[in-house]
Chain A
Amino acid sequence: EPEVTQTPSHQVTQMGQEVILRCVPISNHLYFYWYRQILGQKVEFLVSFYNNEISEKSEIFDDQFSVERPDGSNFTLKIRSTKLEDSAMYFCAVLLTAGEYTGELFFGEGSRLTVL
């Protein structure tokens, strides 16, 4: 089964600081996603990434957020100036199959971000 490794598992930061969350898929994947989950709430779509560019983003994904895949391996989510309301679990996901039917999303274990 393919694995997605996320680092850090937990990050505590001061409001206004920049944060970079990393995702490393073990197997080759083309489609990447970031989701976030505020404690006890729903899993919210942030952004999808395909062919080294954003394919779709939600209204949550404002100018404070950016994604990139700088070295063809790591897939990163950057929050430029964190706010208290950015405190959440951030999940990286990859699409396992594509084609005629949509495939399943395989989630990493998540990075918990706490903004103080």
Chain B
Amino acid sequence: GQQVMQIPQYQHVQEGEDFTTYCNSSTTLSNIQWYKQRPGGHPVFLIQLVKSGEVKKQKRLTFQFGEAKKNSSLHITATQTTDVGTYFCAGQGMMKTSYDKVIFGPGTSLSVIP
């Protein structure tokens, strides 16, 4: 079955440093989504990428979807303490319907040292 992997599992950075998490799927994805979960909270949608090679930016966050639609990355420039949390990539395989299950990666837990 479809598996989604992420590295690293944990990342500790000094405030102001950059951070990148990488996501890899065992199968081709129709889309990739990124979620953020604060400690004790629930996953919150950040963005969705659909097209091969797509790049999207949200302020200090840059998201990429690989050409083969099997990998993705999230890069945060100049981390802040508000960036603390676990970042999950999630994706759908080649869909039969738009409401097919979304499979989550194991997440990268980001700690920011002030």
Contact = CB atoms under 8 A, between A and B. Distances in A.
Interface of A: 30-31, 33, 35, 41-45, 48, 50, 55-56, 58, 91, 95, 98-110
A106 B50 CA distance: 18
Contacts, number: 73
Contact of A48 (B43, B50, B99): B99
A45 B101 contact: yes
A116 to B, nearest CB: 21
Contacts of A104: 33, 45, 48
B25 to A, nearest CB: 14
Contacts of A103: 48, 98
Interface of B: 30-31, 33, 35, 37, 41-45, 48, 50, 88, 90, 92, 95, 97-107
Nearest to A50: B99
A102 B92 contact: yes
Contacts of B31: 101-102
Contacts of B37: 43
A45 B104 CA distance: 8
19 contacts: A35-B104, A42-B104, A42-B105, A42-B106, A42-B107, A43-B35, A45-B104, A91-B42, A95-B99, A102-B30, A102-B31, A102-B98, A102-B99, A102-B100, A102-B102, A104-B48, A105-B90, A108-B42, A110-B42
A56 B100 contact: yes
